[in-house]
């Protein structure tokens, strides 16, 4: 039986991903602050309706979702974006270098064939061109450009309830030339993430790592691997 939501720290929840929604989905995260909500990534698409229903059943008001942050343009992260965009009054945030996947739906960039999903491009409302931040309630979120897995990959971090929480999807790769992957850029991005000294890592497919020493060990393990 799937769990409906998983609380990570107060105000931060996993609402999609293996064991929560479809096994094809990346980990989908929901953040709450002062009656405002933000969703990070949307899963592969087949269970988009389930994820939205689970958020409602957990007592959240979908009208309060202000932002949908897309960490990169692979189908397991953007497949549900069209349905989310239609259902929510939210601004989509993503990096300009992954727009060919997110907006243009170029299949070699979205990797949609891996999941048997047909993706339709979705317009991004707030296009990141550098490291930028946005406010949700009383929390400031920082979007860092962390290329390597894809050219426009981003990582998001914030101080939430005294813990530095890092949303870093697909730390583990993989890397393919057709996606524009660059392992040297990825290594530099991982060093940047290590420098944040995060207390909690919300990863893209392998769940939650805490406290800080486990976050560091997880990232360093992949740096040794690649």
For the cut 70, the answer to whether the pLDDT of residue 3 exceeds it is no
Name which of 8, 70, 6 is nearest 38 in CA terms: 70
Q: What pLDDT score does 1 carry?
A: 41
Closest by CA to 26, choosing from 86, 114, 121, 125, is 114
Reported as a single tens digit per residue, the pLDDT across 70-125 is 999 999 999 999 999 999 999 999 999 999 999 999 999 999 988 888 899 999 99
For the cut 80, the answer to whether the pLDDT of residue 226 exceeds it is yes
Residue 191 phi/psi, 5-degree rounding, is: -65, -40
Average pLDDT, rounded, for the chain: 95
pLDDT digits 0-9 by tens, 29-54: 999 999 999 999 999 999 999 999 99
What are the residue ranges of helices labelled H in 75-124? 75-78, 81-87, 99-102, 107-110
What are the structural domain ranges in the chain?
6-225
Could you tell me the pLDDT band of residue 207, with boundaries at 50, 70 and 90?
A: confident
Look up residue 72 and give its DSSP letter: -
Q: Among all chains, which residue has been given the structure tokens 């991903």?
A: 17
pLDDT tens digit sequence for 147-166 = 999 999 999 999 999 999 99
Q: What is the pLDDT of residues 187-199, one digit of tens each?
A: 999 999 999 999 9
Indicate the CATH number of 6-225 among 3.40.50.11810, 1.10.10.10, 3.60.15.10, 3.40.1110.10: 3.60.15.10
């Amino acid at each position: 039986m799937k769990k409906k939501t998983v609380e990570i720290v107060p105000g931060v929840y996993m609402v999609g991903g293996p064991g929560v929604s479809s096994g094809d989905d990346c980990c989908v995260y929901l953040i709450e602050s002062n009656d405002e909500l933000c969703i990070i990534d949307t899963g592969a698409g087949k269970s988009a309706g389930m994820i939205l229903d689970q958020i409602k059943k957990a007592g959240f008001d979908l009208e309060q979702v202000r932002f949908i942050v897309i960490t990169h343009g692979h189908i397991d992260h953007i497949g549900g974006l069209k349905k989310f965009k239609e259902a929510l009054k939210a601004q989509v945030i993503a990096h300009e270098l992954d727009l060919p996947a997110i907006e243009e739906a170029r299949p070699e960039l979205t990797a949609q064939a891996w999941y048997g999903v047909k993706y339709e491009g979705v317009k991004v409302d707030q296009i990141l061109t550098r490291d930028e931040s946005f406010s949700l309630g009383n929390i400031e979120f920082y979007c860092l450009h962390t290329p390597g897995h894809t050219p426009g990959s981003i990582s998001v971090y914030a101080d939430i309830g005294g813990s530095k929480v890092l949303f870093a999807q697909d730390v583990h790769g993989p890397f393919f030339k057709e996606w524009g992957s660059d392992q040297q850029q990825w290594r530099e991005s991982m060093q940047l993430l290590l420098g944040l000294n995060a207390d909690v890592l919300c990863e893209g497919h392998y769940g939650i790592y805490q406290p800080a020493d486990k976050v560091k060990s997880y990232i360093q393990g992949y740096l040794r691997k690649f």
